């Protein structure tokens, strides 16, 4: 192993990746659980209710991190797809494939918590507001990625075509966002880290976000491990069948 190799290059070896991810995964999982538990404690026992929204503001501590990770998941898929198509990085496809259902799940979580929050605030579960609609479109893009991959039998082809679709999606996502914003805006604008969110709420939000981020990483690493294992099992099975075929033909002669 030359010292010039970058981390991504060194992890390109699946065996090394398995060892590395296996070592950090338990720590990630435990840290994630602790952070989320601490954030939930702060949310329910320490953070004040909002002066306008009352106790419903507690939904925010799950809604906002989910929405961030929904976008982050797509970013991971886009980066991995780029890595697959341009650098042919062997783990890039595993990463893209593993991230799709997780990202879709966080998108769905953001949509559902948004709907539950919308009922007391806007009086209805679903409004066609710009940010909700953008999230829904993101969810559709996730579904498209998963559906395209599952409808192709040739796995190598499926990986590359899905990567093309992911890159198309990431290039058109800003245009969709822009057009939907143009179309309708009702949602409160994102406050993010700005000072308009009081520290008593911002701290639990950031801790919750950190916990969810670690959760995402842990799930992603685990899903990547599973995918690598699945491919190994498949390769072994194919080798076994071929060996059987050879024995059969040898016996027939």
Partner 1 sequence: MSGFLALLRRDLMLAVREGSALGTALGFYLMVVAMLPLGLGPDLKLLSRIAPGVLWIALLLAALLSLPRMFEADHEDGSLEVMATAPLPLELAVAAKALAHWISTGIPLALMAPILGLMLNLELALTPALVATMLAGTPAVSFLGSIGAALTLKARRGGLLLALLVLPLYVPTLIFGISTIGFASVGQDGFAASLLVLMAVSVASIAVAPVAAAAALRLQVS
Contact 95, 76 (CB under 8 A): yes
Closest to 13 (Cα-Cα) out of 86, 126, 89, 97: 89
> With binding defined as CB under 8 A, does residue 157 bind partner 1?
yes
Residue selected from 40, 108, 112, 167 as contacting partner 1 according to rule CB under 8 A: 167
- Let me know how many helices (H) and strands (E) the chain has, helices first: 7, 0
> With binding defined as CB under 8 A, does residue 128 bind partner 1?
no
Give the pair of three-digit tokens for residue 128. 């066609």
> With binding defined as CB under 8 A, does residue 12 bind partner 1?
no
Q: How many residues does the chain have?
A: 253
At its nearest, how many Å lie between partner 1 and the CB of residue 152? 6
Q: Mind giving me the DSSP string for 16-60?
A: HHHHHHHHHHHHHHHHHHHHHHHHHHIIIIISPPBTTTBGGGGGH
Residue selected from 3, 15, 23, 153 as contacting partner 1 according to rule CB under 8 A: 153
Q: Which stretch binds partner 1 (CB under 8 A): 28-36, 157-165, 192-200, 222-230?
A: 157-165
Report 170-209 residues binding partner 1 (CB under 8 A): 171-172, 175-176, 178-180, 182-183
Total binding residues toward partner 1, as defined by CB under 8 A: 28
Cα 35 → chain centroid: 19
Interface with partner 1 (CB under 8 A): 85, 137, 140-141, 143-144, 147-148, 151-154, 157, 160-161, 164-165, 167-168, 171-172, 175-176, 178-180, 182-183
């Amino acid at each position: 192993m030359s010292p010039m190799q970058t981390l991504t290059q060194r992890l390109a070896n699946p065996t090394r990746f398995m060892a590395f991810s296996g070592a950090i995964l338990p720590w990630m999982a435990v840290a994630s659980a602790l952070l989320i538990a601490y954030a939930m404690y702060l949310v329910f026992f320490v953070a004040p209710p909002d002066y306008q929204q009352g106790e419903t503001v507690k939904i925010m501590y799950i809604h906002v991190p989910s929405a961030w990770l929904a976008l982050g998941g797509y970013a991971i898929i886009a980066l991995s797809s780029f890595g697959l198509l341009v650098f042919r990085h062997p783990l890039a496809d595993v990463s893209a494939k593993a991230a799709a259902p997780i990202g879709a799940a966080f998108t769905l979580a953001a949509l559902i918590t948004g709907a539950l929050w919308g009922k007391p605030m806007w009086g209805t579960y679903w409004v066609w507001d710009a940010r909700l609609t953008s999230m829904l479109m993101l969810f559709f893009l996730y579904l498209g990625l998963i559906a395209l991959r599952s409808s192709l039998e040739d796995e190598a082809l499926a990986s590359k075509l899905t990567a093309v679709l992911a890159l198309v999606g990431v290039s058109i996502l800003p245009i969709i966002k822009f057009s939907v914003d143009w179309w309708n805006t009702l949602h409160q604008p994102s406050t993010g880290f700005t000072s308009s969110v009081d520290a008593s709420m911002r701290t639990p939000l950031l801790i919750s976000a950190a916990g969810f981020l670690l959760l995402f990483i842990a799930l992603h690493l685990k899903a990547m491990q599973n995918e690598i294992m699945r491919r190994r099992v498949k390769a072994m099975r194919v080798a076994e069948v071929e060996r059987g075929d050879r024995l059969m033909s040898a016996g027939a002669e």
